[in-house]
Chains A and B, each alone.
Chain A
Amino acid sequence: MKHVAYISEGSLSQGVIAYLSEDENIERFSIGSMMKIEGNMRSYLAMIVDAGIKARYHLSMISREVPEEFKEVLISKFSSELRMPWIKLALIAQRDFKGGEASVADSMPSFYSKVYDLKRKDVKLFFSEEDKISLWNLGHLKTTSIEEILIPINIDSLVNLHFGIFGKTGTGKTFLGNIIASMILLSELRRTEKRNIRLLIFDMHSEYAFKLRKTGGEEIAEGVGLLFRYNFVKYTVDPEEARKYKTNLLRINLKEVSVDDLRLVGQLFGLTETFLAHLGTISSKLRRRYGNFWFIALLLSNQAFWEKLENSDDDEKKNILYEFLSKYKYDDWEVFNNNFERIIGDNTILRSIRANVSKLVKIADYPITISESDVDKIVSDLTDERGQSVIISFGKFDKEVVLYLLLANLIAKKLRNKIMEVIQKFGEPKTRIIIFLEEAHYFLGKETYRLSPFGEIAREMRKRGVTLCIIDQKPYELDPDVISMLWTNFVFNLTDRRDIEAAIYGAPNAELFRSMIPRLKSREVFIFGEAVDFPVVLTVRNYREFVEHVKELLKEEEKRLEEIEEAIGY
């Protein structure tokens, strides 16, 4: 096999420079592609992280008025002098010629080592092969050769430790999320010793529960919720979606909203610092009179909120008002309001309430209730051996971050409490839960990480079987503690320097990969961490083809189970 370049200079930490052979075309060497280096004692796996042309000297006359016939001859004859195309390679892995396991590169190939296009047989020396239990092919390795080489990820390693999916809108995060979720479920299905895996997916854009769409809106294929319809209980906060797909409508129980929940969403609602500071006092005062109806009382202190409930088409919402009135014997808003003001009893706080509660009126548009909500059932499904995975879809509320935050926090709080309850009774959780959390920076951001129940889950629950899949387009906004807790990172295209740095934090020689991230194409993802043998750039599998593949596997599995049942005379 002919070499394409040779190692000239560089270092393990800064990357090595290889000059291309005379007949090679620099345009063939895309950033992120894997190459093979043959040293004197070892083979190396290396990734192109930069490319360029160095000129020994510059012929300025070429850009001037030189007749074309001369220019052409000049360029052809001085090509090796005018241009010395080079590629910069990050050393990823090494393997001794004598044999043994491939390991992380900790040595430098000798001077003038030859660089080759990577072939399938080379890849086998460095990467595991799909076994359709733990190891699942995620995508094609980016190489300079025409061979398509599939590389697997290790689902077992992935689900045991928190992991992150980062990238700008439209780069393929949701496709990858669906693929990973499917692989987790397939892996569970095909293994004899079950681990009672449960997925909890917060599906902001209804692309896990139902169908994935292109950016323009065109449907592409079924999401994991449809592919594995028997594994999931689906909820939606959108009444229309609930009707259309005959899905459970999930409502926020206003009696369960705490002061901490409000503090978390305070900034998004535009609540003032003063109001948030007074909230503890307000809550205490109202609790004395209204018990767990305190938040409802606070909301009703705004007449517009009262009227929205009164005029709502939704009986559940009307019921909130009627139950409150009947329980506390009020006839109208005036009477309630006089009583409310008397309870608060402080004009400064009252002014703050008036100014801020008006900003909370939009809560009346959300699916709300005071009856027992399905949140308890969700938690029970996730923690019970006989339970199911859960997807919560947001339908038309896909832009309502506040609703998403309130709901996710309520679930996370209850889930955490349930698990802690088990642990405090010296038990062990019976299930392993993986939470797919989109727009994670709202929960795990620098200001929210300490307040949000997801922060506690991230810090304390991993060893108790709860893993977070953090999905975000702004990783920089995540708390640095969260970033450092991730064991596998999937990084799609990002352009903001700070986001890139956060997303590749923890990658070996991370600075070498910085310039590569903004150049990743759609579906191309840089992966490093526990779930891959070595850092790689993969082109994620075509989603439609993947869906067909999953369907075939599910059919096979169904047939296999039927055969087993037949054999045991079931």
Chain B
Amino acid sequence: MAHCLEGKLIKQNAIGEVASLKGGKIDVFIYPDKFKFVRTGTLLLIKSYGVYPIGMVLKLIHETRTGSFTPLGMTRDELKRRYPDIEDYEKFVATLVYVGHFDGSKFKQFRASSPLIHDLVFSLDDCLMYFIKHEGKWNFYFLRYFIAEGATPFEVKEFFLNYTDFWKENLSEKREILEAIFESLSFFRMKDIEPYLVEIIDFFSKL
């Protein structure tokens, strides 16, 4: 077990659990109190049976469980006071793109076996470095999965924005990071790559 995960994959730390799975996309039910920590572009780890799939948030969905909606005209505080159990009637779902896995000792940027429904989901924030830098070399190949499943240039940019502090800490390696990003994207041979590059360059030029 990587030391960044040591003792952290306990159910108390889980932020949600797998609700459904289709192709390369995994829908995760996010526990309501954790919903505010999950953003587009966030990396999450799923504790599955013998493998730890890693997903990247593509979409966030918040809707009623019944499918019907009635306007109430109240502030969030008023609402909580009036209906303390209101969140039991709501659904907090994050659609993840399966972008890599942790095999118990190393992080890999390719997919392994699929997770199962109700597998617990954890934050990967503390392990970000281990996921995207192997043996001193930056690697962003996981972005290929994210883009292939429909991530727009803005959603890719949000990944970088979410971890702004992390990039700032590694600013001395900006050139190496950029080289690795561009190399991963060029390998992908996308047709409309330019908007992605524009957003990434915009992010790093303002860092």
By a beta-carbon cutoff of 8 Å, the part of chain A in contact with chain B is 56-57, 59-61, 66-67, 69-70, 73-74, 76-78, 80-81
B201 contacts A70, CB within 8 Å?
yes
Question: Does B197 reach chain A (CB closer than 8 Å)?
Answer: yes
Which one of B183, B186, B191, B205 lies within 8 Å of A70 (CB-CB)?
B205
Which one of A56, A59, A60, A77 lies within 8 Å of B179 (CB-CB)?
A77
Which one of B175, B193, B198, B205 lies within 8 Å of A73 (CB-CB)?
B175
A77 contacts B175, CB within 8 Å?
no
19 contacts between A and B (CB under 8 A): A57-B193, A57-B194, A59-B193, A61-B198, A61-B201, A66-B201, A70-B201, A70-B204, A70-B205, A73-B182, A74-B182, A74-B197, A76-B179, A77-B179, A77-B183, A78-B182, A78-B186, A80-B186, A81-B189
B191 contacts A73, CB within 8 Å?
no
The B169-204 residues at the A interface (CB cut-off 8 A) are 175, 178-179, 182-183, 186, 189, 191, 193-194, 197-198, 201, 204
- A56's nearest neighbour on chain B, judged by CB, is B189
Q: Do A77 and B186 form a contact, CB below 8 Å, given A69-B175, A70-B201, A70-B205? A: yes
- B176's nearest neighbour on chain A, judged by CB, is A73
B197 contacts A59, CB within 8 Å?
yes
Contact flags (1/0) for B94-107 with A, using CB distance below 8 Å?
A: 00000000000000
Which one of A57, A67, A77, A78 lies within 8 Å of B205 (CB-CB)?
A67
Within 8 Å CB of A76, what residues of B? 179
Q: Count the A-B residue pairs with Cβ separation under 8 angstroms: how many?
A: 36
- A75's nearest neighbour on chain B, judged by CB, is B182
A57 contacts B175, CB within 8 Å?
no
Within 8 Å CB of A61, what residues of B? 194, 197-198, 201
- A78's nearest neighbour on chain B, judged by CB, is B186
- A82's nearest neighbour on chain B, judged by CB, is B186
Within 8 Å CB of B178, what residues of A? 70, 73
Within 8 Å CB of B186, what residues of A? 77-78, 80-81
Within 8 Å CB of A81, what residues of B? 186, 189
In the complex, A74 Cα to B197 Cα: how many Å?
Answer: 9
How far, in Å, is A37 (CB) from chain B's closest CB? 27
In the complex, A61 Cα to B175 Cα: how many Å?
Answer: 18
How far, in Å, is B196 (CB) from chain A's closest CB? 11
How far, in Å, is B153 (CB) from chain A's closest CB? 12
In the complex, A77 Cα to B182 Cα: how many Å?
Answer: 6
How far, in Å, is B147 (CB) from chain A's closest CB? 15
Within 8 Å CB of A70, what residues of B? 178, 201, 204-205
In the complex, A56 Cα to B205 Cα: how many Å?
Answer: 26
How far, in Å, is B23 (CB) from chain A's closest CB? 27
How far, in Å, is A401 (CB) from chain B's closest CB? 62
Within 8 Å CB of B197, what residues of A? 59, 61, 74
B204 contacts A73, CB within 8 Å?
no
- A64's nearest neighbour on chain B, judged by CB, is B198
Query: What 7 A-B pairs come out closest when comparing CB atoms?
Result: A77-B182, A78-B186, A73-B178, A70-B201, A77-B183, A81-B186, A77-B186
Contact flags (1/0) for B149-184 with A, using CB distance below 8 Å?
A: 000000000000000000000000001001100110
In the complex, A67 Cα to B109 Cα: how many Å?
Answer: 30
How far, in Å, is B106 (CB) from chain A's closest CB? 26
Q: Do A59 and B194 form a contact, CB below 8 Å, given A74-B182, A77-B183, A80-B186? A: yes
Within 8 Å CB of A60, what residues of B? 194
In the complex, A232 Cα to B71 Cα: how many Å?
Answer: 114
In the complex, A60 Cα to B205 Cα: how many Å?
Answer: 18
Within 8 Å CB of B204, what residues of A? 70
How far, in Å, is A7 (CB) from chain B's closest CB? 22
Contact flags (1/0) for B45-62 with A, using CB distance below 8 Å?
A: 000000000000000000
A67-B205, A77-B183 known, 14 other contacts, Cβ within 8 Å = A56-B189, A57-B193, A59-B193, A59-B197, A60-B194, A61-B194, A67-B201, A69-B175, A74-B182, A76-B179, A77-B186, A78-B182, A78-B186, A81-B186
- A81's nearest neighbour on chain B, judged by CB, is B186
In the complex, A69 Cα to B201 Cα: how many Å?
Answer: 10
Within 8 Å CB of B193, what residues of A? 57, 59
How far, in Å, is B49 (CB) from chain A's closest CB? 39
Q: Do A57 and B191 form a contact, CB below 8 Å, given A73-B178, A77-B179, A77-B182? A: yes
- B195's nearest neighbour on chain A, judged by CB, is A61
In the complex, A34 Cα to B9 Cα: how many Å?
Answer: 66
How far, in Å, is B182 (CB) from chain A's closest CB? 4
How far, in Å, is A19 (CB) from chain B's closest CB? 15
In the complex, A123 Cα to B182 Cα: how many Å?
Answer: 43
Contact flags (1/0) for B78-108 with A, using CB distance below 8 Å?
A: 0000000000000000000000000000000
- B183's nearest neighbour on chain A, judged by CB, is A77
Within 8 Å CB of A80, what residues of B? 186
In the complex, A78 Cα to B201 Cα: how many Å?
Answer: 14
Within 8 Å CB of A73, what residues of B? 175, 178-179, 182
Within 8 Å CB of A66, what residues of B? 201
How far, in Å, is A449 (CB) from chain B's closest CB? 59
- A71's nearest neighbour on chain B, judged by CB, is B201
Q: Chain A CB within 10 Å — which of B179, B182, B204 has the most? A: B182
In the complex, A110 Cα to B175 Cα: how many Å?
Answer: 42
In the complex, A38 Cα to B204 Cα: how many Å?
Answer: 47
In the complex, A550 Cα to B42 Cα: how many Å?
Answer: 82
- A69's nearest neighbour on chain B, judged by CB, is B175
In the complex, A359 Cα to B182 Cα: how many Å?
Answer: 77
Within 8 Å CB of B175, what residues of A? 69, 73
- A60's nearest neighbour on chain B, judged by CB, is B194
In the complex, A73 Cα to B189 Cα: how many Å?
Answer: 17
Within 8 Å CB of A57, what residues of B? 191, 193-194
Contact flags (1/0) for B6-47 with A, using CB distance below 8 Å?
A: 000000000000000000000000000000000000000000
Within 8 Å CB of B194, what residues of A? 57, 59-61
How far, in Å, is A539 (CB) from chain B's closest CB? 40
How far, in Å, is B183 (CB) from chain A's closest CB? 5
Within 8 Å CB of A67, what residues of B? 201, 205
Within 8 Å CB of B205, what residues of A? 67, 70
In the complex, A8 Cα to B194 Cα: how many Å?
Answer: 27
Within 8 Å CB of B189, what residues of A? 56, 81
Within 8 Å CB of B198, what residues of A? 61
In the complex, A180 Cα to B36 Cα: how many Å?
Answer: 89
How far, in Å, is B194 (CB) from chain A's closest CB? 6
Within 8 Å CB of B179, what residues of A? 73, 76-77
- A70's nearest neighbour on chain B, judged by CB, is B201
In the complex, A123 Cα to B178 Cα: how many Å?
Answer: 47
In the complex, A61 Cα to B191 Cα: how many Å?
Answer: 15
In the complex, A104 Cα to B193 Cα: how many Å?
Answer: 46
Q: Chain B CB within 10 Å — which of A60, A70, A76 has the most? A: A70
In the complex, A346 Cα to B197 Cα: how many Å?
Answer: 91
